[in-house]
Structure 1
């Protein structure tokens, strides 16, 4: 930090952002569990197992992005979320929702 740059008071913004990432992670977890449950209730078919495996992979991908972001928010001056990270999170969330919806219907 330079002498001209004032100390940053982040307030509660980083904590709110971490909580938002945790809520989204919880939502993705519920979608993945419901997808697995749907496959188990109907009996394992090859397409159901493949869709469930895809849901779990997307869930793991989202967990990786969310964990990186939550760790980055612990810094005194957290770096911005990269465009690549934002796109990865958005695509994982959307694809997971579509896969889970396809399994539930």
Structure 2
């Protein structure tokens, strides 16, 4: 049997570090997708619709970066908190928005 208070301590091992690295890889992938989408958009005719799409892409990318950065910093704690539902929803909406824009660029 363990002493009182020992059960409350948790050895997270490398799991927070792996999660932090996964967030960094996902942020890098989102950055590459955003840059390629902007490049494709700006190679077009430069219509207001294309420029609006480029602006939306930048805003979605910045929102994703903000959420990812906060999560990466939170994972540096000894006992990181769970991802907030609002943050998870923001990440899902940013990803879906970039996917919709990518389909619109291709068509």
1:6-17 correspondence to structure 2 within 5 Å: 6-17=8-19
Q: Distance in 2 between matches of 1:4 and 1:30?
A: 44
Q: Distance in 2 between matches of 1:70 and 1:104?
A: 32
Gapped regions of structure 1 (runs ≥ 5): none
Q: What SS does the aligned partner of 1:99 have?
A: helix
Query: Which 10-residue stretch deviates more, 55-64 or 23-32?
Result: 23-32
Higher-RCO chain (CA-CA 8 Å, sequence separation at least 6): 1
Contact 1:55 1:96 in 2 (8 A): yes
Report what 2:56 is aligned to.
54
Aligned length: 104
Contact 1:14 1:74 in 2 (8 A): yes
1:11-90 correspondence to structure 2 within 5 Å: 11-90=13-92
Alpha-carbon offset, residue 4 of structure 1:
5.1
Q: TM-score, normalised by structure 1?
A: 0.90
Q: What SS does the aligned partner of 2:43 have?
A: helix
Q: TM-score, normalised by structure 2?
A: 0.88
